Structure 1
Amino acid sequence: MLGSAVPATLSVKLCLFQRLPTNAHFEFSGVEATKPPARRRRHHNHHHQHQNHHLHIRYHHKLNNLKSLFGRAVIARATNDGGGGVGSFSQQPTSPDVEEVNISSSSLGDGYVSLFVRMLGLDNDPLDREQAIVALWKYSLGGKKYIDAIMQFPGSINLTVNLLRSESTSTCEAAAGLLRSISMVNLYKDLVAESGAIEEITGLLNRPSLISEVKEQSLCTLWNLSVDEKLRVKIANIDILPILVKSLDDEDIKVKEAAGGVLSNLALSQVNHKIMVEEGVIPKLVKFLKNDDEGSKVIRKVARNALLELSKDDYYRILIIEEGLLPVPLIGAAAYKSFRPGLHSWPRLPDGTEIERTSKTPSRFGASELLLGLNVDDKIVNIDEVKMNAIVGRTQQQFLARIGAIETEDGKKESELLSGQQLTLLPWVDGVARLVLILELQDESALSRAAESIADASINEDMRFAFKEAGAVKHLVRLLEYNNHAVKLSAIRPLERLSVSNGVCQAIEAEGVMDPLIDTLRCPDISDNLMEKTLDILARILDPSKEMRSKFYDGPVNGSNKGLDEARNSNRPRENNGDMTEIDIPKTNTRKSVLDSAVIACLVEILKTSAPNLQRKAASILEFIAITDPTMDMVISVAIESALDTVFQQKVLKDTDSDLEGKEPEKYALEVEEAGLAISAASRLLTKLLDSEQFCRNINSRHFMKLLRDILKSSIPLNCKDWVAACLVKLGSLSGPKPNLKESINVEVTLYETIPRLIRQLKTSSSLQAKEAAVVELNRIISEGVIDSTRAVASEGGISPLVKLIEEGSDRAVEAGLAILYNLSMDSENHLEIVAAGAVPVLRRIVLSQRPQWTRALHLLRTLPT
């Protein structure tokens, strides 16, 4: 089976454009692949000198006949024996005025072929060997039966491979060309590979200043061999791959095509993907598809095939998208017949934004409706690059759909050209517009595939905003109301990926996504996957902290360019330009559907029965409901206390050492982190519920304090303990006049949350001021006599960052650090760690320089072992 999508046979007219010299004098020896011993060789040369004249006479007549036959124009059919080599892509030069002649192998005679094979012998003159290999190369161009005639002589391949080491350019070209012809026949591929051709070609391609013709023939040989799956691993090595990648920049298009063909075949074996990507093949291949003026149709085709194979890996697909190409499903040109472009009396942007009319009087000839730019005031509407790309892409793709030219190439259906391929690759502008165009069709299968492709492509802020500007959001929200479960599931996945961006999340809400999501959540037979995605979107839209963050942060996530839809004018309240204040009213209306007893009961049930990641999202939505409903009656009335009790008693935190045996450490750490996030969200919800007097009267505060104190001492991530500590402190304050209990809670919060957080700040913060603030706070805690506070500092690994800060910090930080270090030195178990952290030379420098803290440093030195 061919590694590249080419016809099984390829008819090519070829001519023998190099005649043999009329005065050619051929000397030959046997066909041994290695040189004979020295003594035998001298005898052979002596005998050869005596027989030289006789051999000339003996073969002169035959060679004249052969030259006259080769002197005529030879037109041959290049076939590949039903499994031909992809090297046949590079056609030999043809002559239109040459008469077509059918040649059989018997017409030349086996004697002539054997003559040239003998002339390849190592003992022959280099010029004779060159003439022989050139003649055999031209002869092999006739097709399989001519190649068979050559291959009937044992050793012909080995002698040909040996000629790849020749210093003669024409010899190397002919040898590589003959190997190319032989490797086109499936029967001989293994023989070529076993003869060491791959290694010799690698050495040949590593030569400096190699001419394009030699490169082409050598690479085409590798192209033919790479069709065989077992040979691909042998070809894909660290020696040949850099040559292939470098050849993609060659000036000769034939060299580019051959290198691309080899890479396309190598990509068919997944085992080669890693080494190919590491050699930087993706950017090189992408450039042929991004720019229409780059390369030929062949190189574009092989580049596309290679990248499509690499895109089957999720990570490599992201790299391809980041380079500017999108995988787009091929759905067939017939599916686009259902496309009906919207006919508007006034132009709109792809996302549905209407352009305000600056002229009340219509143009006499309708130009104001057709030429958008004539009636757009730059001071009112700023068409940025993302919007311009959306307009250009939509225009191009709708035009192709209208004329029936979409998914076609040279008059052929692209889906036919890429037999078995279900995807193609398009530049960002065209790919985004094509995917949005498919969302407007009626084919349910096409809708699902386009939605899945949008989800896969939404990898960064630029892509998410590109889809938003192209109008994908409104179509995806519409698909949520489909009766087809598969379509609905396919539509919710890209919405979940797009909602990662705050600005796009607002646009999703403005399109009316809340009602379909709530309806989905109410369904009794909802699948786990659909429920997870639904909760993801709802949790991001209803995130209680989002509105507070928006007051301090005026840009989207991931460092993208600032602002969402800055072009839209604030005097158009119907538009959503990313400003939180502009959609407050529609938010109030759309979010009322969440305040439903059935929805709240569903969320509480999720807290009781679902996995930690779903519990976290459900708790966040319930917190929003609690904030929205001042009385909290709806939340309190659904037995929220028992649901919180379930979340706080995560199974993974109760596992003993015997339970952990056989568990993967990475998987266990992930489970603990997910449990910690769910507990943190539930603690935040409980903290909010404690504002209700009715809830406080009914809650078993002692039970929850015990649960939270145990969690505070557990191994959940430190960032998850913030709300646990806050909730525990609030529960303690509501428990009544019990000073011992309050003191115990405060100590535990200090030991298990405050001190670890300050130590982490010392270790990881890049700000010297933040580190100094942390060490001052630590000194305050220790100086207040908190039990086991110094032990907590040592156990959290605080000694080393303390010593470093003493060496670099200000006088204030040095004073606090020395105080903490002195308290740590009171425990002899800490002495070795203090010394190992390099404290002794730091303290000596402070004493010798007589800094203000030198007396404390001296006392510390006397305490430490020296």
Structure 2
Amino acid sequence: MIFKTSRRRRIENPHSLNLKLCSARPLVTRVGSSSDSGGTFDDATPQKVSDGSSDFETSSSPISGDGYVGLFIRMLGLDNDPLDREQAVDALWKYSLGGKQCIDAIMKSRGSVFLTVNLLNSESCVACEAAAGLLRMISSVNIYRDLVAESGAIQEISSLLRRSSLSSEVKEQSLCLLSNLSVDEKLRLQIANSDLLPLLIKFLDDEDMRVTEAAGGVLANLALSLTNHKILVEAGVIPPLAKFLRTDFEGSKIIRKEAQSTLLELAKDDYYKILLIEEGMVVVPLVGAAAYKSFRPSLHSWPSLPDGSELNVKQNLKGPSRYGASELLLGLHVEDDKNTKLEEAKKNAIVGRTQQQFLARIGAIETEDESNKTGSPTSDQRFTILPWVDGVARLVLILELEDESAIAKAAESIADSSISEHMRTSFKEAGAVKNLVRLIDHHSESVRLAAIRALERLSVRSLKDSDAFGNSTYMILNILARILDPSKEMKSKFYDGPVNGSKKGWNEARTSTPNLTSSLQTFQEGDLSDPTFLSRLVEILTSSSPVLQTKAATILEFLTASEACREKIISLDIESALDSLFRQKFFNEAGLAVSAASRLLTRLLDSDQFRKVVNSSRLTDSLRNILTSRIPLQNKDWVAACLVKLGSLWGPANLGSENPINTEVMLYETIPRLVEQMKDSYSPEAQEVAVLELNRVISEGVVDSSRVVAGEGGIFPLVKLIEEGNDKVVEAGLAILYNLSMDPENHPAIIAAGVVPTLRRIVLSERPQSVRALHLLRTLPT
């Protein structure tokens, strides 16, 4: 990175300075290095930094005015007039621009560094700028860098930069001095642990781009030390740097490169990479420009969606473009076309894809400069950072190349970037899923594993080849189950009564059917209805671990939305498989599998074909045993739902005249759930709903309902809600307690919960609930 050092101010008294010192030499440049050692800054052409040393090759021409160096160094003395000191340091700064030979002449008097550092305290901006500039030049030579730091330059620069008003020139020179010092590992740690870090981040928003660039250079050097990463991230360096890499940023290329360098170092940590992605950036592997030569997109002039369907937009161009420029322009046109009804994600996918394909066609991706900017050329893992629209499109494009290493790296990056619904949707719309599914059959194991991992993270919506099962069964089932999970939608249909307090309850919900057809349309139904594929899933229900059983049941439940799949599932004797699962032991470990299988059975009961062949009595007995077992309460919800549906379909005639199913559902699922909601919910509204619903259940006279409330520990949270709740909660809570008080065995617990003082306060307040509270007091032995 190159910074030009130039003077923007003339010396006020040239006769006192002998301008021969300012010889006609080229300006000094600052060159940033990505390594921790070696030459870091050089004099301008024809001088250069030698590899691994601080030596400079300088012009052999004599420097006019060398004899005045000692004079000006003496003028830096603390006993001299401030104006003389200012003019002396200014002259020495100009002289130092001559290169290392001039700097060596100044450094013959080692005290000059201490005197120059002292001038950083000056109230004169001219003196401060010149002092910082001179120290910057001295610190550009490796052998003098430690002396500058030991002279207190870091502390003085820290104080200087905290001043309320500083000129841009002072800021620039001071920050460039810090950048030179931060080349040293130990000095990086000192700078990062000082008060300078918040100032550096603040200067990223400076009005003068030269100051911003200089601050970015310091941060880029600090990020080279792994121990500084946590400090940088906690200071909040990622958001302000990420903004320089966004597509809407118009400014210096230097600060973009500095920001990219810093963020790439931070992205080596997986957690910090997540923070980077949250700022709209994607880490993309550099696979080499040669890899893109295998890219062969179809040459058509009309942009399409990732599924290949054409866009319904007005077409003005005719014929394909050799490099895809027409598609690029049309893709950009789609983004601005108000008449095109497309989701934002689809538009971004089109724009990103057309831009990256255009760059690939003209050979502009990963030019030599881009490939070399990310660190050591010997590194096997090189990356760049792109805004998410371009990054997503670039990764998907790499999946279409022939280079196996490049494909595997892109798939891994897709997996790492899929941390949010936004990113997963972006990859899906960009066409990542279809490419990753294709790569599951790739001959390279590294590509197959990377593709499977990416699909797992993306919650892939299709997996077509039944041969993919085998050693990868768990991973592939996990891929399918993560996305083919209709449980949330099912729950909203079957389970809203008890949760929201409505009186619809289970019975009125029994005919509700979730609409999963729209999700199923994203699959090729013929492949998923393959008998071998379905038979394997049914087999897993009876012979695998509870984890795999849960995933298989979830996938099968989703597939029942397709009539073709449902008929084949029923023909595979799914009833026997479900009954086998329901009758297995160790329900505590198999709770999730039982819940998923109950959802599947509930779904199948919507089918007339299944109802004609199912043995409802056998399944009912199995589910009732599960409901009354000690499996976790959260796993009983779908067991209860399925039981209610079975009872509603076959009626009391087949299940007994009293139809005890509803009672068992209330005692073993509804009441325990409501008590748990009263105890554990942080929402007063949810607690109110639970109390009102519980009062309704008990008032209906369900046998043993009061006993279950007490047994589930409902008395103490009930008393607490009476103390803190509104009138409706108090009224319902007192009614429940009154019913509980009818059993003398509950009296000790009610009194121990502290209800007596609460009841007395209610009675004395003459609230509407006073009468009920008085009756309850008279019932209790107080």
Q: TM-score, normalised by structure 2?
A: 0.77
Q: CA deviation at 1:487?
A: 1.6
Query: In the alignment, which residue of structure 1 is the partner of 2:479?
Result: 537
Q: Cα offset for 1:364?
A: 9.2
| Equivalent residue number for residue 620 of structure 1 | 554
| Mapping 1:91-490, distance limit 5 Å | 102=59, 112-237=68-193, 239-291=195-247, 294-344=250-300, 348-355=304-311, 382-408=341-367, 412-420=368-376, 422-490=382-450
Q: Does 2:752 match 1:853? A: no
Distance 1:478 1:271, change over 3 A: same
Q: Secondary structure at the match of 1:122?
A: coil
Name the residue aligned to 2:464.
515
Report the 3-state secondary structure (helix = DSSP H, G, I; strand = E; otherwise coil) of the residue aligned with 2:584.
helix
Give 3-state SS (helix, strand or coil) of 1:441's partner.
coil
For 1:392, the aligned partner's letter is V
Asked whether the equivalents of residues 719 and 754 of structure 2 are also in contact (C-alpha less than 8 Å), the reply is yes
**Structure-2 change in CA distance of 1:118 and 1:540 (3 Å):** same
Report the alpha carbon displacement of residue 258 of structure 1 after superposing the two structures with TM. Answer: 0.9
Cα distance in 1, alignment partners of residues 705 and 492 from structure 2: 38
1: distance between equivalents of 2:287 and 2:739? 69
| CA displacement 1:410-469 (0-9 Å, x = unmatched) | xx4411232346221222332222222222211122222222222333333333333333
Alpha-carbon offset, residue 601 of structure 1:
6.8
Structure 2 counterpart of 1:722 = 637
SS for the counterpart of 2:754 is helix
**Structure 1 stretch displaced more, 778-787 or 446-455:** 778-787
User: Does structure 2 retain, via aligned residues, the 8 Å contact 1:425–1:431?
Assistant: yes
Does the 8 A contact of 2:238 with 2:263 survive in 1?
yes
Residues 479, 491 of structure 1: 8 Å contact kept? yes
- CA shift, 1:605, in A, is 7.5
CA distance 1:180–1:647, shift in 2 (3 Å) = farther
Deviation digits for residues 564-619 of structure 1 (CA, Å, limit 9, x no counterpart): xxxxxxxxxxxxxx9835966966423212555761476248723xxx64443134
Instruction: Name the structure 1 match of 2:721.
Output: 802
Whether the 8 Å contact between 1:799 and 1:821 is mirrored in structure 2 is no
Given that 1:13 and 1:75 are in contact with CA atoms closer than 8 Å, whether structure 2 keeps it comes out as no
Query: Secondary structure in 2 aligned to 1:316?
Result: helix
Matched, 1:73 2:30: no
User: Taking structure 1 as reference, are residues 832 and 278 closer, same or farther at Cα in structure 2, changes over 3 Å only?
Assistant: farther
Amino acid at match of 1:590: D
Per the TM alignment, residue 754 of structure 1 is displaced from its structure 2 partner at its CA by: 3.5
Q: Hey, what's the Cα distance between the residues in 1 that align with 2:734 and 2:696?
A: 12
**Deviation, structure 1 residue 486:** 1.9
Match of 1:497 in 2: 457
> What is the alpha-carbon distance in structure 2 between the residues aligned to residue 358 and residue 153 of structure 1?
76
Matches within 5 A, 1:638-649: 641=580, 645=584, 648=587
The alpha carbon displacement at 1:287 in A equals: 1.9
3-state SS in 2 of match to 1:424: strand
1:343 is displaced (CA, Å) by 2.8
Stretch deviating more after TM superposition (791-800 or 134-143): 791-800
How far apart, CA to CA, are the structure 2 residues paired with 1:459 and 1:217?
A: 41
Change (3 A) 1:787 1:822: closer
Equivalent position amino acid for 1:405 in 2? A
Distance 1:695 1:386 in 2: 48
- 1:776 is aligned, of 695, 718, 734, to 695
| TM-aligned CA distance change 1:122 to 1:628, over 3 Å | farther
CA distance in 2, matches of 1:175, 1:352: 64
Q: 1:68 to 1:281 in 2, by over 3 A?
A: closer
The alignment partner of 1:711 has SS state of coil
Deviation at 1:256, TM superposition (A): 0.5
Superposed CA offset, 1:515-558 (max 9, x none): 22x2211x3xx24xxx34311232256545477579899xxxxx
Is this contact kept in 2: 1:327–1:424, CA < 8 A?
A: yes
Between the aligned partners of 1:771 and 1:216, the Cα distance in structure 2 is: 64
> For residues 540 and 453 of structure 1, what CA distance do their matches in structure 2 show?
20
Q: CA deviation at 1:818?
A: 5.5
Deviation (angstroms), 1:134: 2.0
Q: In the comparison of the two structures, how many residue pairs are matched?
A: 723
In structure 2, distance between residues paired with 1:808 and 1:418: 66
Q: Secondary structure at the match of 1:295?
A: coil
Seen in structure 2, the aligned counterparts of structure 1 residues 194 and 585 have a Cα distance that, compared at 3 Å, is closer
Q: Partners in 1 of 2:743 and 2:72 — Cα distance?
A: 91
Q: Does the C-alpha gap of structure 1 residues 103 and 208 become closer, same or farther in structure 2, counting only changes over 3 Å?
A: farther
Separation in 2, partners of 1:301, 1:824: 77
Distance 2:488 2:662 in 1: 34
8 Å contact from structure 1 (residues 79, 143) kept in 2: no
> What are the within-5 Å matches in structure 2 for residues 669-680 of structure 1?
677-678=592-593, 680=595
Deviations 1:222-256 (A, max 9, x none): 21222223333322247322211111111211101
C-alpha distance in 2 between matches for 1:792 and 1:388? 58
Per-residue deviation, 1:260: 0.8
Summarize the Cα distance change of 1:449–1:765 in structure 2 as closer, same or farther, 3 Å threshold: farther
Name the SS for the 1:327 alignment partner.
strand
Is the contact made by 1:390 and 1:429 (CA closer than 8 Å) also made in structure 2? yes
Counterparts of 1:76 and 1:549, CA distance in 2:
73
Would the alpha carbon gap of residues 199 and 643 (structure 1) be closer, same or farther in structure 2, given more than 3 Å must change? farther
Distance in 2 (CA, whole Å) between partners of 1:258 and 1:802 is 61
Unpaired runs of 5+ residues, structure 2, are: 46-56, 496-514, 561-565
- How far apart are 1:167 and its partner, in Å? 0.6
1:362-403, CA deviations, whole angstroms, 9 ceiling, x for partnerless residues?
999999x98979999x99962444333333323322222121
Cα distance in 2 for residues equivalent to 1:639 and 1:773: 36
CA contact (8 A) 2:92 2:134 kept: yes
CA contact (8 A) 1:775 1:816 kept: no
Amino acid in the other structure paired with 1:443 = D
Amino acid aligned to 2:272: Y
1:834 aligns with 2:754: yes
Residue 334 of structure 1: how far off its partner (Å): 1.0
- 1:31-70 correspondence runs (5 A): 67=18, 69-70=20-21
Conservation of the 8 A alpha-carbon contact between 1:164 and 1:176:
yes
1:593 pairs with 509, 524, 530, which one? 530
| Cα distance, 1:405 vs structure 2 | 1.4
